[in-house]
């Protein structure tokens, strides 16, 4: 089983970016932990982070026929980008939406996500651990489908 972990804008700054909201774990730390969990689960992971919306759309398109599932934190685009939602719909790959913070406990403009309706699940508020939970959950979901 192959899964892609896609991260959007500003997530390259994790570790130093608003640590009171996002914690002090870096994206490299998250990727290292996911690599370890992927070995335990026997799945293959690829990672991609970009600050450019079109590049994220290209990265989603590139998963077609390549991976079985996507874990995505689209950052602020989660709240606004119909283009990213359309890309996820177009490739029709099951995906889990992740947010480090509990977006539903934040400013009103963050309490809505345009991606959620198409997602298998959303994980938010568990900080960096949310990525691991998403990975375990998505692998279990895909394995159950056979």
Helix (H) and strand (E) counts for the chain?
5, 5
Q: Which stretch binds ligand DQA (CB under 6 A): 34-42, 50-58, 71-79, 83-91?
A: 71-79
Name residue 58's beta-bridge partners.
Answer: none
Q: How far apart are CA 129 and CA 122, in angstroms?
A: 13
Show contacts with ligand DQA in window 97-116 (CB under 6 A): 99-101, 103, 110
In order of 11, 57, 110, the CA distances from 136 in angstroms are: 21, 24, 25
Which position among 25, 38, 49, 73 is part of the footprint of ligand DQA (CB under 6 A)?
A: 73
- Choice between 38 and 73, CB closer to ligand DQA: 73
Among 23, 45, 110, CA closest to 74: 110
Residue 46, interface with ligand DQA (CB under 6 A)?
Answer: no
Q: How far is the CB of 42 from ligand DQA (least distance, A)?
A: 27
- Choice between 57 and 103, CB closer to ligand DQA: 103
DSSP SS3 for 138: helix
Active site residue 131: no
Mind telling me the catalytic residues? 22, 99
């Amino acid at each position: 089983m192959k899964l892609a972990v896609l991260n959007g804008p500003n997530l390259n700054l994790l570790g130093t970016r608003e640590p009171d909201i996002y914690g002090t774990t870096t994206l490299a730390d998250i990727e290292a932990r996911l690599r370890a969990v992927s070995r335990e689960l026997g799945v293959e992971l690829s990672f991609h982070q970009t600050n450019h919306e079109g590049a994220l759309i290209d990265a989603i398109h590139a998963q077609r026929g390549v991976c079985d599932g996507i874990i995505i934190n689209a950052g602020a685009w989660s709240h606004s980008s119909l283009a990213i939602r359309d890309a996820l719909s177009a490739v029709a790959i099951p995906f889990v939406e992740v947010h480090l913070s509990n977006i539903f406990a934040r400013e009103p403009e963050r309490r809505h996500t345009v991606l959620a309706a198409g997602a298998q699940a959303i994980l938010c508020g568990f900080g960096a651990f949310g990525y691991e939970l998403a990975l375990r959950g998505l692998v279990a979901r895909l394995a159950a489908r056979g």
